[in-house]
Chain A
């Protein structure tokens, strides 16, 4: 199974749309895209999971790392399009309270 990563830079945020499965096999690809954005900390990051059919804990690890990096720069992490099954992961791990999940975007 593969993953498609579509990243767009906007003024204040990086918007990343994922399609496929985010797991131990595909997570390194997303990591490669996120690493430089995370570390400069000049943008908020918005990740769209609408077309992600499966995510495992390695995928979750990427969100944890991104969150920690962004917090150091007072930047926010938004995760949208989170399905019920994936939402369960964010809930069980208690991570739901630490990032913005399925929140409506400010500019509609």
Chain B
């Protein structure tokens, strides 16, 4: 007996039970299980109506009263279809609202949060930030204070949709509105207060904040729970990990941030990234060996930072498991002064 025959027989039994049996309630109850089954197999309401007509013929039911009575069963089943249809419609509505929310957040990011990369004679900057989905959780901002100082921040906002986009705008406007260069530890302390007040419970922000003085080549930096950054020492051909103690933004009201400084030599590079790089999953689902990323930087070291980050991004995309994508951001600053 095929599956379809089974369905037909079930339906026949229900009609039989309802019209000629003693327990009509039982027949009605069976309708529910039956509807679930046919809805599950994607049968349409009109197919059920056809089946009903066929079965009446088949069973030789012609008496007007009986035909009318059998319609109770049909009605019962069509009601279930109605429920399913309404569920479906409300789900579609929710999806539409969700899509609209994502569109708003996404266009907010594309317009308000856009950062232009400034150009200088003494240094070169490259940055790339690619969202895994429509809305990114990664964010970077670069501010030229026009006083020989440059601020940059790379952040990962954990949380989704509009709240995440709002958190990013707060960060951007917080940073931009200072108007003059601020020490990284002070900036993070202020940003923490802004984020802490406004985010929903599960949300937090990791951020690496740097202030680069390009007259003295000193980098001041602080970190709010962000991935350690790297400095590539050109002359030694070596990488140095830089990190400073500090909790993520938005968790602790009175957080304090350690600040450190280091000298950036000629042709040295500062590389800041998000966990889309360090926690990248390869095709076989294992994690990337970070030494590979360092090798990529090394190989491309004599190119412009924008070309370097583009090259790393493309190389990473080739090894990444496309089903385990995460937002990915790379920021690279190269001291362009010549070696003596």
Question: Measuring CB to CB, which residues of chain A are less than 8 angstroms from any residue of chain B?
Answer: 24, 31, 56-58, 60-62, 64-65, 67-69, 92-95, 97-98
Contact = CB atoms under 8 A, between A and B. Distances in A.
Contacts of A60: 158, 204
B326 interface: yes
B201 A95 contact: no
Interface stretch (B45-53, B76-84, B243-251, B307-315): B243-251
Contacts of A69: 201
A60 B275 CA distance: 13
Classify the secondary structure of A's interface with B. Answer: helix
A56 B279 contact: yes
A24 B160 CA distance: 10
A36 B250 CA distance: 22
Given A56-B275, A57-B158, A61-B159, A93 B201 contact: no
A93 B247 CA distance: 6
B334 interface: no
Contacts of B156: 57
A92 B226 contact: yes
Contacts, number: 59
Contacts of A31: 202
B202 A93 contact: no
B228 interface: yes
A64 B204 contact: yes
Classify the secondary structure of B's interface with A. Answer: loop
Contacts of B279: 56
B181 interface: no
Interface string B152-188: 0000101100000000000000000000000000000
B158 A95 contact: no
A69 B202 CA distance: 10
B255 to A, nearest CB: 8
Given A61-B204, A95-B225, A56 B326 contact: yes
Contacts of B246: 94
Contacts of B251: 64, 67-68, 95, 98
B108 interface: no
B35 interface: no
A61 B158 CA distance: 7
B203 interface: yes
B252 interface: yes
Interface in B177-228: 200-204, 206, 224-228
Nearest to B159: A61
B166 to A, nearest CB: 16
Contacts of B203: 61, 64-65
B247 A97 contact: yes
A108 B227 CA distance: 36
A95 B226 CA distance: 11
A68 B202 CA distance: 9
A57 B226 CA distance: 11
Nearest to B257: A94
12 contacts: A58-B158, A60-B204, A61-B202, A61-B204, A64-B158, A64-B250, A65-B202, A65-B203, A92-B206, A93-B204, A95-B248, A98-B252
A76 B226 CA distance: 25
A57 to B, nearest CB: 5
Contacts of A65: 200-203
